[in-house]
Amino acid sequence: MKRLLWLFLLLIPFKIAAISASSYIVMDMDSGRVLEGSNINKESLIASTTKILTAITAIEYGNLNDVVRVNQDILSAYGSGIYIQIGEELTLDDLLYGLMLRSGNDAALAIASHVGGSKDNFVFIMNEKAKSIGMKNSLFVNPSGLEENDGSANKSTVYDMALLTRYAMKNDNYRRITGTKEITIKSSMKTYKWFNKNKLLRIYDYCTGGKTGFTKKAHRTLVTTASKDGMNLIVVTFNDGNDFNDHKELYEKYFNNYKVIKVIDKNTNYGENIKLKNDFYLVLGKDEKYETNLVMENSDNAVNGSIVGKVEVILNGEVLGYRNLYYEKVSVTENKSFISKLLDFLKFW
């Protein structure tokens, strides 16, 4: 009887437990497709996942080799820190490791002061960067994610944070820092050894980075990325007491049941002098069907490098993305054979 019971249990299809987050999202990093989610546009406190925006802003607007002299701005930091001291010197790159691996609130203030000239100026740049990325439901009041004395705090949505992470992961320096499990840093005063608080990097082989967060008001927030067999995913959870396990199970669900398909091939012939520059890949389930739609513009007066159309990718009636078509006419001289070029040369003699 027991053997029959075990056999019956083994035949039950595998299904992951319900996600315990108040809001969450799974996004295909390459196409931006939302694969799954709940309350994806609900504004929430985001705690230290804020530091993803702090990091990419500092990387883009600062010089990673700059030596930063820590000033008194760090005195207002509380909570998690790397415990740097006023007058201590270390590179901006090193501070970013302290920011992302140890969630240093003191590091966030030192970075903001150095790159922006002041915390307020840096926060202005952060908000402008967020808008440029397309984060429509986000507002940042500081570079750390802590609540301010007046009660204000950084707010965003799981969708916006996935957009931010998708953008940041295109940067080589960001990927290097967020994917580091541990590092030893030497400043002008002491030596630090930091371990990444994102334990998914250690317990899940396919994790490539991310950022943890926690405050009493925001509860646990977590952003992670993972890659397997050409599939690159982002998971964001807010207010999730079981976040690391939830992220791992969501990754396994899609890695095991979905595939990456090349839906636009850059080598496809769309006409004379019409070129694609990039392929387009899409994460698809076994029963999902996609379509492509060719949109052409008048190319009679096109110049080299101009956009003359696009190829759209459509799934379930929705345009998920596209690749531009470019006019690239090869000059006559480039098509000439060696003999033709030699004869042209001899005409001058």
CA angle 160, 199, 163 (to 5 degrees): 10
Could you tell me which residues are beta bridge partners of residue 117?
none
- Bridge partners, 291 (sequence order): 314
Q: Is 144 a catalytic site residue?
A: no
3-state secondary structure of 194: strand
DSSP annotation of 348 reads T
How far does Cα 18 stand from its chain's mean position? 25
Closest among 238, 30, 253 to 145, alpha carbons compared: 238
CA distances from 102 to 22, 183, 192, 197, 212 (A): 25, 11, 11, 6, 9
* Residue 48 appears among annotated catalytic residues: yes
Catalytic entry in 23, 31, 44, 51:
51
The string of DSSP codes covering 301-325 is T--TT-EEEEEEEEETTEEEEEEEE
Q: How far apart are CA 19 and CA 221, in angstroms?
A: 13
Which of 44, 48, 138, 144 is the catalytic position? 48
Q: Is 228 a catalytic residue?
A: no
Strand boundaries in the chain, DSSP class E: 23-28, 34-38, 44-45, 67-69, 89-91, 155-156, 182-186, 191-195, 207-215, 219-228, 231-238, 258-264, 274-276, 280-285, 290-296, 307-315, 318-327
Exposure pattern of 184-206 as b/e (b: 16+ CB <10 Å)? Answer: ebebeeeebebebbbebbeebeb
Catalytic residue, chosen from 80, 103, 113, 187, is 103
Residues acting as catalytic residues = 48, 51, 103
